[in-house]
Amino acid sequence: MPFKYKKRTDRVPPAKDVMEKAVKEVAVEGCKLRTTATKYGMDKMTLRRYVLKYKEHGMQTTFLPNFKKSQIFADREESALAQYLLTASKMNYGLTPKECRKLAYLYAIENGKNVPRYWTSNEEASYDWFRGFMERNGTLSIRRPEPTSLSRATAFNRHTVSQFFQLLRKVLERDRFEAAAIYNCDETGVQTAHKPGSIISQKGLKQVSKATSAERGQTVTICCAVNAVGNFIPPFFVFPRVKKQDYMTYGAPVGSVAATHPSGWMTVENFLLYLEHFKKYVKCSIENKVLLILDNHSTHISPQGLKFCKNNGIVLLTLPPHTSHRIQPLDVASHVWSL
């Protein structure tokens, strides 16, 4: 596919009424194709194509060129994708062009679109599509972001926290959630090798050792949720493995679920599994909604996750970035309980 299409001729496509008149002269009146094309100053192969379309579809034929035939997404779908990119940028989590192309591929697969072979083999949209997408959506532009630390961009302050509680009030007034339908979700990473405590040793030694299961542990992510009356959802574990094994949940609370990822961290795919696990125990629906308050990590607000929540009556409310150490209930309460 060329980088940008360049016209090879100055010929202007015929108007709709002219094309319709020429097609009817050939298809209905029996005039010769070449003579009619010369009469109206159009290419005979173009006229032939429209004549065949007219014979197949009759008056339902569109006598205008269809320049959007090869466009992957409809205008409405591209607008939704552009709005998502703008929202991510405003939240200081803007996507790079490559990340946008990967997102477009996932969006196309999710919506059952026919994509070119290049998209499937590389699992991302082509750069030509990205360039055309940017040209069709004038509200978007590629900018080099100013490096902004999280503490500066999302610092804990009165304005940020007030905005969150205003949103919380609107959601509570709109859906009238009871205490049992308000859940808080949080993740924590646990190391498989514990950190030894202080021991008594000889004074003056520069290095003191103590036996542990391993010198350097691996991270296991645990995702938990509890509602405002104290009921909890069985934990969801992400182990640093490639394949899931049944023994991973031996000794865990009843109903616990295990997932895997080489890093042991939560991913978009694993969070979708957690949402299914959450729905199983909460038994929510469009008619029986629940509120889920959690961090605004990128794995929590993916298009797939948002779609699942919308279809299953889960209302997501994310905490402002860099404020969980002060207003995340499962984070703050654990420190209070330890006192």
DSSP 180-206: GGEEEEEEEEEESSPPP------TT-S
**Residue 339: which pLDDT band, with cuts at 50, 70 and 90?**
very low
pLDDT tens figures, 65-97: 655 556 788 889 999 999 988 887 776 677 888
**Residue 276: which pLDDT band, with cuts at 50, 70 and 90?**
very high
The per-residue pLDDT for 297 is 80
User: And the tokens for 76?
Assistant: 């409405």
Q: Reply yes or no on whether the pLDDT at 313 is more than 70.
A: yes
Query: 């509200």: which residue's tokens?
Result: 139
Burial track 114-138 (b if 16+ CB lie within 10 A, e otherwise): eeeeebeeeebbbeebbebbeeebe
DSSP bridge pairs for 293 = 184, 317
Q: Reply yes or no on whether the pLDDT at 205 is more than 50.
A: no
User: And the tokens for 154?
Assistant: 């999302």
Of the candidates 280, 282, 304, which has an alpha carbon nearest to the alpha carbon of residue 292? 282
Q: Which helix (H) or strand (E) holds 243?
A: none
Of the candidates 335, 334, 339, which has an alpha carbon nearest to the alpha carbon of residue 226? 334
**Considering just the CA atoms, what is the radius of gyration of the chain in Å?**
29
Which of residues 85 and 193 earns the better pLDDT score?
85
What's the full length of the chain, in residues? Answer: 339
How far is 312 from 275, CA to CA, in rounded Å? 10
Q: Left, alpha or beta for 33 (phi > 0: left; psi -120 to 50: alpha)?
A: alpha
Residues of the chain with pLDDT > 70: what percent?
A: 79
Q: Where are the domains of the chain?
A: 1-69, 75-136, 150-190+217-336
- Under DSSP, is residue 224 helix (H, G, I), strand (E, B) or coil? strand
Low-confidence winner among 76-80, 202-206, 255-259 (lowest mean pLDDT):
202-206
Residues of the chain with pLDDT > 90: what percent?
A: 26
Q: Reply yes or no on whether the pLDDT at 153 is more than 70.
A: no
**Amino acid, res. 90:** K
The per-residue pLDDT for 273 is 93
The per-residue pLDDT for 91 is 67
As a whole number, the mean pLDDT across the chain is 80
The per-residue pLDDT for 203 is 43
Helix axes 97-110, 303-311, angle to 10 degrees: 40
The per-residue pLDDT for 334 is 56
Overall average pLDDT of the 233-261 stretch: 90
CA-to-CA dists, residue 325 to 28, 159, 298, 320, angstroms: 77, 17, 18, 11
Q: Reply yes or no on whether the pLDDT at 103 is more than 50.
A: yes
pTM of the complete model beyond 0.75: no
Q: Which helix (H) or strand (E) holds 62?
A: none
User: And the tokens for 263?
Assistant: 């890093």
pLDDT tens figures, 28-40: 888 888 888 888 8
Structural domain 150-190+217-336, CATH architecture: 2-Layer Sandwich (3.30)
**Is the separation of the CB atoms in 225 and 210 below 8 Å?**
no
**Residue 124: which pLDDT band, with cuts at 50, 70 and 90?**
very high
- Under DSSP, is residue 328 helix (H, G, I), strand (E, B) or coil? coil
**Is the separation of the CB atoms in 320 and 164 below 8 Å?**
yes
The contacts found for 107-116 with CB under 8 angstroms, 24 or more apart, are 107/73, 107/77, 107/81, 107/303, 108/72, 108/73, 110/303, 110/304, 110/307, 111/73, 111/77, 113/72, 113/73, 114/72, 115/72
User: And the tokens for 27?
Assistant: 């298809």
Q: Which helix (H) or strand (E) holds 283?
A: none
Which of residues 67 and 228 earns the better pLDDT score?
228
**Is the separation of the CB atoms in 189 and 256 below 8 Å?**
no
